[in-house]
Amino acid sequence: MNIGSDKTLYRFSKENIQWLVDYFLPSTSETRGGGLDGFTKMCTYLRFLADPGFQCGIGEDIGIHQSTASRIIKEMAFIISQRAAEWIKFPETTTEFKAEQPLWSTKYKMPFAVGAIDCTHFKIKKPLNNCDEYICRKGFFSINVQATCNANELFTSVDVSWPGSVHDSRIFKNSSVHNVIKSNDVEAYLLGDEGYGIAPWLMTPFKNPSNPIEALYNSTITKERIIIERCFGQLKQRFALFQYKIRVDIEIVPQIIISGFVLHNIAKHLNDTYEYSTDLESNIENVVFSSNEISGVTCNQIRENGKRKRLTIANMLSDNSN
Query: Which residue ranges in the chain fall short of pLDDT 50?
Result: 32-34, 281-297
Contact at 8 Å (CB) between 202 and 306? Answer: yes
Q: For residues 12 and 43, what is the distance between their CA atoms, to the nearest angstrom?
A: 9
Query: Model confidence over 100-140: pLDDT tens digits?
Result: 999 999 999 999 999 999 999 999 999 999 999 999 999 99
Closest CA to 199 of 189, 210, 184: 189
pLDDT confidence of residue 294:
38
Closest by CA to 213, choosing from 311, 142, 285, 299, is 311
Angle at 294 between CA 288 and CA 299, to 5 degrees: 130
pLDDT at 61: 74
User: Residue 193: what pLDDT?
Assistant: 95
pLDDT tens per residue, range 132-175: 999 999 999 999 999 999 999 999 999 999 999 999 999 999 99
Q: Report the alpha-carbon distance of residue 132 to residue 129 in Å, rounded.
A: 9
Helices (H), 168-211: 168-173, 176-181
User: What pLDDT is stored for residue 91 in this prediction?
Assistant: 97
Task: State how far the Cα of 223 lies from the Cα of 10, in Å rounded to an integer.
Answer: 32
Q: With contact defined as beta carbons under 8 Å apart, do 25 and 79 qualify?
A: yes
Question: Residue 40 corresponds to which amino acid?
Answer: T
Please tell me whether the overall predicted TM-score, pTM, comes out greater than 0.85 for this model. yes
CB 232, CB 281: distance < 8 Å: yes
- Rounded distance, CA 319 to CA 44, Å? 54
- Amino acid, res. 239: F
The predicted pLDDT at position 116 comes to 98
Closest CA to 150 of 184, 95, 99: 99
Q: Is 2 exposed, middle or buried (0-12, 13-18, 19+ CB in 10 A)?
A: exposed
